[in-house]
Amino acid sequence: MAPEEGATHAVRRRVVLFPLPFQGHISPMLQLAELLRARGLAVTVLHTDFNALDPASHPELAFVSIHETLPDEAASPDADIVAQLLALNSACEAPFRDALEALLRGPDDVACAVVDGQWYAALGAASGLGVPVLALRTDSAATFRTVLAFPRLRASGYIPIKEEQLDELVPELEPLRVRDLIRVDGSDTDALCGFIARVADAMRGSACGVVLNTFDAIEAPELAKIQSKLSCPAFAVGPLHKLRPARPAAEHGSLHAPDRGCLPWLDAHPRRSVLYVSLGSVACVDRAAFEEMAWGLASSGVPFLWVVRPGSVRGTDEALSPPPLPDGLDEEAGWRRGKVVAWAPQREVLAHEAIGAFWTHCGWNSTLESICEGVPMLAQPCFADQTVNARYVTHQWGVGLEVGEEIERARVAEAVRTMMAGEEGDRVSQRARELKSPTDRCVATSLAIDNLVQYMMSL
Ligand code: UDX
């Protein structure tokens, strides 16, 4: 269907969406867009030039580029993440406001905007124009609780994180320990706290609702606690990737083209025999850690499918994909049991019966995708909310094991074998399969999107 078919005949209620331009944020926002559209709303997606979206991948939605001017250092793949988020917010505020104002002058009735929860500047801009605005949190309810608690954690000395407190439980945020709190290595603590404070202030000051990509079967207590801390309603509408209308190909909204050759490769493997390895769309590893992962996987004896994103091994030429392998690895029989791809059709991979476990950085989308398919996880959190998610995976839901802090080949091989063939691995695999039933029930019975749409229409 053409994006604006029928728009000339009647005034329609339009929702304006504004995703943060990173894969882990774009996917849930576009999944939400599809769900709103399927309930009869017109949807316009505003997007940045940075990591620009391809409108052709979603012909049913209207896209408008806002044309921001981002300083070169903030657009670089090596940019400090917190500095990048601050720069994006300041570069996008005015163009976002202009684009929203233009839509307000258009023929449709703008019911509300939904912007990523990290767009604090856009939250303020929309509410300044009198447009009701909701924030989409693309992370877990537990992470959102941590964000809201940050000023208290700083005032009570838990932040900056201190070595001697790493294993202390954080009051009111159990089961999180100090070591699980949100952190971004290499970023300044003041900058991180400043960013989080702006996000929390905008949420409280400007948002008339919070939308979370999570659901009761895994986070009911966290959701109840969040609601008690907010004066606006919170809607737990996840898992969005499962609820959105079925589409012919599963990976629309992807910034990279998936290598679908790994699916027939998986077909040739027995049930639950393959370890899927991916550290998501942003995390990078040092060359030394990459080599230890490679040797560890090769010597584990387990077949593996490994996503090595171009540019994800620090110090390696991005054009060389995959990066040069350690000397001698190619001749190892264990290495030849594996397959390396630059980008996988992850949701299809996780749903494949050959997958036995997922070695993951515990990004929230990856965590949800794994839980929904009943796949246990080997957790290797890298930064931001991933430490929070990993703690829930291993200690709250019991559906994963830790890889361990030190990425060293013998330890890696041991962790992989324990996951795929050891007693502990059996236990968490069983638990992952058990958690799938309440998850499926939540997906089948969810009315959360209808409640959200009803609320949007009442604004
Ligand atoms: C980071 C955060 O850690 C995450 O929690 C936050 O909410 C967004 O930013 P990211 O590194 O992108 O996320 O990880 P994740 O949230 O797991 O999202 C990655 C997405 O890319 C997933 O939907 C996954 O299916 C997809 N993906 C990844 C692929 O489709 N193919 C791949 O090869 C790798």
What confidence tens digit (pLDDT) does each residue in 240-279 have?
Answer: 999 976 665 545 667 888 999 999 999 999 999 999 999 9
Considering the domain boundaries, does residue 220 fall inside one? yes
Closest residue to atom 30 of ligand 1, CA basis: 346
Same domain assignment for residues 266 and 229? no
**b/e map 238-264, b = 16+ CB within 10 Å:** bbbbbbbeeeeeebbbbeeebbeebbe
Instruction: Report whether residue 119 contacts ligand 1, using a CB cutoff of 6 Å.
Output: no
Q: Give the range of the structural domain holding residue 60, as residue numbers without chain letter.
A: 3-250+445-458
* Residue 432 located in a structural domain: no
- The answer to whether position 430 is within a domain reads no
Give me the residue label for tokens 């829930």. 392
Question: How confident is the model at residue 5, as a pLDDT?
Answer: 42
Tokens 């023929």 sit at which residue? 107
Q: Please write the tens of the pLDDT for every residue from 315-370.
A: 887 777 788 889 899 888 899 999 999 999 999 999 999 999 999 999 999 999 99
pTM given for the model:
0.95
Residues known to be catalytic: 25, 116
* 177 & 228 share domain: yes
426 located within any domain: no
Angle (deg, nearest 10), helices 120-128 and 81-104: 20
d(CA 437, CA 373): 10
Nearest to 323 by CA among 283, 291, 277: 291
Cβ–Cβ under 8 Å, residues 293 and 408: no
Do 302 and 415 lie in one domain? The reply is yes
On whether residue 257 sits in a domain, the answer given is: no
DSSP string, 341-366: ESS--HHHHHHSTTEEEEEE---HHH
Write the pLDDT tens digit of every residue in 121-158.
999 999 999 999 999 999 999 999 999 999 999 999 99
Domain membership of residue 434 (yes or no) is no
433 within domain boundaries: no
Q: Is 343 in the pocket of ligand 1 (CB under 6 A)?
A: yes
For residues 210 and 156, membership in a common domain is answered with yes
296 touches ligand 1 (CB under 6 Å): no
Q: What is the share, in percent, of the chain residues with pLDDT greater than 90? A: 81
- Is residue 344 within 6 Å of ligand 1 at its C-beta? yes
The protein residue with its alpha carbon nearest to ligand 1, atom 27, reads: 346
Residues 231 and 352 in one domain: no
ipTM over 0.85: yes
| Whole-number Å distance between alpha carbons of 132 and 111 | 7
435 belongs to a structural domain: no
Helix (H, G, I), strand (E, B) or coil at 234: strand
Task: Work out the average pLDDT over 195-215.
Answer: 96
**Residue 225 shares a structural domain with residue 287:** no
**Ligand 1 in contact with 254 (CB < 6 A)?**
yes
Q: What is the pLDDT of residues 213-225, one digit of tens each?
A: 999 999 999 999 9
Asked whether 27 lines ligand 1 (CB < 6 A), one says yes
SS3 content of the chain, % helix, strand, coil (to 5): 45, 15, 40
Residues 192 and 311 in one domain: no
Query: 312 in ligand 1 pocket by Cβ < 6 Å?
Result: no
Q: How far is the CA of 350 from the centre of ligand 1 (A)?
A: 13
Task: Verify that 364 and 450 share a domain, yes or no.
Answer: no
| 245 and 269 co-located in one domain | no
Asked whether residue 150 falls in the same domain as residue 43, the answer is yes
Choose among 39, 62, 57, 64: nearest CA to 247: 57
As a whole number of angstroms, the distance between CA 278 and CA 263 comes to: 15
Q: Tell me how far apart the alpha carbons of residues 110 and 30 are, in angstroms, rounded to a whole number.
A: 18
Does residue 9 have a pLDDT over 60? Answer: no
CATH number at residue 282: 3.40.50.2000
Ligand 1 center from residue 298 Cα (angstroms): 25
CA 239 to CA 258: how far, in whole Å?
22
Q: Whose CA is nearest to atom 20 of ligand 1?
A: 24
Ligand 1 centroid, distance to 279 Cα (angstroms):
8
241 and 304 assigned to the same domain: no
Overall domain count for the chain: 2
Q: How far is the CA of 385 from the centre of ligand 1 (A)?
A: 12
Judged on CB neighbours under 10 Å (0-12, 13-18, 19+), 84 is: buried
pLDDT digits (tens, 9 = 90+) for 165-187: 999 999 999 999 999 999 887 77
Cα of 130 vs centre of ligand 1, distance in Å, is: 33
**pLDDT for position 251:** 54
Closest C-alpha among 22, 117, 18, 24 to residue 369 = 24
Residues 269 and 122 grouped into a single domain: no
